[in-house]
């Protein structure tokens, strides 16, 4: 199984690794720079000694009594070679053009000239080079050497011999400086490494602190409880975006939870309403028939008591009808609206729904004479009558009640507004107004607005309200004209 490292560990390791890599790169560049500087120094020093030797040799050639020819090199420089070596503080050798040793400022070389002949390859390299010079690099147990080979020329620039300048690369001082510098650099890097460890720890902790808090909150997020939002002040742009996304998710989750809870409550009410309607309606019909039969029988046989029996029977029948009405209300709420849609004139149907009301303070207005929509006729009447009934109940204590019903078409939508000047809706009840069984009235089952909302949702419509207590309340119904 592949090991999964935490983000904090990866940030920490990355920062430490970056520090180590940077340290090694700087140390490597430093060593390389020292070597390049040392190589350039030796190259320039060798060139300066070559110029000095060539100047001294040229001076000897100009002031000698011998002809400037390779055959007289031994005679020309026999004594002069040691003087030049002492003055220039450097040893050198003179070869003829064939590569045979003629003279050397080193006494041991002169004793065994036959053993010191130029390497043919070196001679060939020198002859083929553009500047007629060649530098051979030699490494042995004593260290590194450079051996310069170049021509000795006369006044007419004709080669008469070969000058060999051995040069020992003494890097002891440079190496000592490099070691001293590296020791100081390691000391500085050690302190920097400790600081980097501390900084990596603090930075990784700071970065992952916000993520850890978000992770903890997300792990405790539940649909069936209220979730707290995250507040991480002073966080970066990316963390802030993540926090905002989580908080937005919490809002949507709460909204979904509320919708789910509301849907579950409505479903529970529907199931209960079906059961209540069934249990109540079953005995009501035979009870009504029995009372009516009793009333008919006894009112005809016993005239003195007929009035009392008739009043008693009428009271029973009235209460049975009330219970039947209540059961019907439960039954209607429990049934989802049947979408027997048809094209109808909303203005005409609204007027038809208002005809059952005798109150003169109900006023109707329409923006057009005819407004057509696809809707169920019975359900539209139910929507209008329920809204008007609520308005009447809100205004029943007023001496001058006013109820306005207004129908209009806005683009592809139909709008029905029912406005009254009644008691209004308190702000604390605004979230419950469309819930089943909620009512602020002394009568009614509190199912009217819930039923209206169910009908409109079945047609992808909506119902909203705006209320100023004791002044004005408007319910606004919107649904598509198609």
- The CATH number of residue 447's host domain is 3.30.565.10
Query: Is residue 425 within 8 Å of 473, Cβ to Cβ?
Result: yes
Distance of alpha carbon 229 from alpha carbon 272, whole angstroms: 37
Residues 6+ apart with CB under 8 A from 161: 70, 73, 94, 95, 96, 97, 102, 151, 152
Q: How far apart are the first and last CA of the chain?
A: 60
- The last residue of one of the domains, among 309, 334, 359, is 334
pLDDT value, residue 444: 47
Q: Is residue 15 part of a domain?
A: yes
pLDDT value, residue 224: 58
Are residues 159 and 61 part of one domain?
yes
Query: Is residue 151 within 8 Å of 163, Cβ to Cβ?
Result: yes
Tokens of 84: 């030049």
Q: What is the number of domains present in the chain?
A: 3
Cross-strand partners of 326:
none
Query: Is residue 240 within 8 Å of 232, Cβ to Cβ?
Result: yes
Are residues 149 and 75 part of one domain?
yes
Are residues 409 and 289 part of one domain?
no
DSSP 8-state assignment for residue 230? P
Q: How many C-beta atoms lie closer than 10 Å to residue 107's C-beta?
A: 8
Are residues 151 and 31 part of one domain?
yes
pLDDT value, residue 442: 47
How far, in whole angstroms, is CA 156 from its chain's centroid? 82
Helix/strand/coil for 414: strand
Are residues 424 and 360 part of one domain?
yes
Q: Is residue 215 part of a domain?
A: no
Q: Provide the residue-wise pLDDT of the chain in tens; the chain has 482 residues.
A: 455 666 677 777 887 888 888 888 888 888 888 888 888 888 888 889 989 999 999 999 988 888 888 888 888 898 888 889 888 888 899 999 888 888 888 866 555 555 578 888 888 888 888 888 898 888 777 677 888 999 999 888 899 999 999 888 776 767 787 788 888 888 888 888 888 888 877 877 776 676 666 666 666 666 556 666 666 665 666 667 767 777 777 777 777 767 766 666 666 666 666 666 655 666 666 666 766 776 676 665 555 556 666 666 666 666 666 666 666 665 565 555 456 788 999 999 999 889 888 888 999 999 999 999 999 888 898 899 989 998 998 898 888 999 999 999 998 899 999 999 988 888 887 777 887 655 555 444 456 788 888 888 888 899 999 998 888 999 999 999 87
Are residues 399 and 298 part of one domain?
no
Tokens of 101: 């040793």
Q: Is residue 207 part of a domain?
A: no
pLDDT value, residue 440: 54
pLDDT value, residue 105: 86
Distance of alpha carbon 122 from alpha carbon 78, whole angstroms: 25
Are residues 373 and 317 part of one domain?
no
- The last residue of one of the domains, among 289, 317, 334, is 334
Are residues 75 and 149 part of one domain?
yes
- Residue 348's nearest CA partner among 362, 369, 376, 367 is 369
pLDDT value, residue 176: 81
Are residues 349 and 433 part of one domain?
yes
Q: Is residue 189 part of a domain?
A: no
Strands (E), 358-471: 362-366, 372-375, 403-410, 413-420, 462-468
Radius of gyration for the chain, computed over Cα atoms and rounded to the nearest angstrom: 57
- The last residue of one of the domains, among 149, 175, 201, is 175
Strands (E), 77-173: 93-95, 101-104, 133-140, 143-153, 159-168
Are residues 92 and 126 part of one domain?
yes
Are residues 421 and 361 part of one domain?
yes
pLDDT value, residue 267: 66
Distance of alpha carbon 214 from alpha carbon 229, whole angstroms: 10
Parent domain of 241: 237-334
pLDDT value, residue 477: 95
pLDDT value, residue 350: 93
Handedness of CA 80, 82, 84, 86 (dihedral sign): negative
Are residues 374 and 302 part of one domain?
no
**b vs e for 25-62, b when ≥16 Cβ sit within 10 Å of the residue's Cβ?**
eeeeeeeeebeeebeeebeeebeebbebbbebbeebbe
């Amino acid at each position: 199984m592949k090991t999964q490292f935490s983000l904090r560990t990866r940030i920490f390791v990355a920062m430490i690794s970056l520090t180590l890599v940077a340290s090694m790169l700087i140390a490597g560049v430093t060593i390389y720079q020292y070597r390049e500087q040392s190589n350039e120094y030796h190259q320039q020093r060798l060139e300066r000694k070559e110029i000095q030797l060539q100047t001294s040799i040229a001076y000897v050639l100009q002031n000698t009594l011998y002809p400037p020819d390779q055959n007289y090199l031994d005679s020309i420089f026999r004594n002069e070679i040691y003087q030049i070596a002492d003055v220039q503080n450097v040893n050198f050798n003179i070869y003829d053009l064939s590569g045979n040793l003629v003279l050397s400022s080193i006494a041991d070389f002169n004793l065994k000239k036959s053993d010191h002949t130029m390497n043919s390859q070196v001679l060939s390299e020198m002859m083929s080079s553009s500047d007629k010079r060649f530098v051979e690099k030699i490494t042995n147990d004593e260290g590194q050497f450079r051996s310069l080979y170049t021509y000795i020329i006369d006044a007419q620039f004709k080669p008469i011999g070969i000058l060999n300048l051995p040069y020992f690369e003494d890097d002891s001082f440079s190496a000592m400086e490099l070691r001293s510098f590296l020791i100081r650099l390691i000391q500085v890097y050690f302190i920097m490494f400790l600081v980097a460890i501390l900084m990596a720890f603090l930075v990784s902790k700071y970065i992952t602190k916000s993520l850890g808090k978000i992770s903890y909150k997300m792990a405790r997020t539940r649909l069936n409880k209220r979730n707290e939002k995250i507040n991480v002040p002073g966080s970066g742009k990316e963390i802030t975006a993540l926090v905002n996304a989580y908080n937005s998710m919490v809002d949507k989750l709460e909204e979904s939870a509320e919708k789910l809870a509301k849907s579950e409550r409505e479903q529970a009410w529907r199931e209960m309403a079906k059961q209540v309607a069934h249990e109540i309606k079953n005995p009501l019909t035979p009870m009504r028939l029995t009372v009516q039969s009793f009333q008919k029988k006894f009112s005809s046989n016993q005239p003195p008591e007929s009035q009392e029996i008739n009043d008693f029977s009428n009271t029973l029948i009235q209460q049975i009808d009330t219970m039947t009405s209540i059961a019907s209300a439960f039954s209607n709420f429990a049934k989802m609206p049947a979408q027997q849609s048809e094209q109808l004139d909303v203005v005409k149907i609204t007027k038809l729904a208002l005809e059952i009301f005798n109150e003169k303070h109900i006023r109707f207005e329409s923006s057009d004479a005819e407004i057509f929509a696809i809707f169920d006729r019975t359900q539209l009447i139910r929507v209008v009558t329920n809204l008007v009934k609520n308005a009447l109940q809100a205004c029943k204590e007023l001496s001058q009640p006013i109820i306005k019903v207004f129908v209009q078409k806005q683009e592809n939508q139909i709008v029905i507004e029912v406005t009254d000047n009644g008691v209004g809706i308190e702000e604390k009840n605004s979230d419950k107004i469309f819930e089943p069984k909620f009512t602020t009235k002394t009568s009614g089952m509190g199912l009217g607005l819930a039923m209206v909302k169910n009908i409109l949702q079945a047609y992808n419509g909506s119902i909203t309200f705006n209320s100023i207590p004791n002044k004005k309340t408007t319910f606004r119904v919107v649904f598509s004209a198609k």
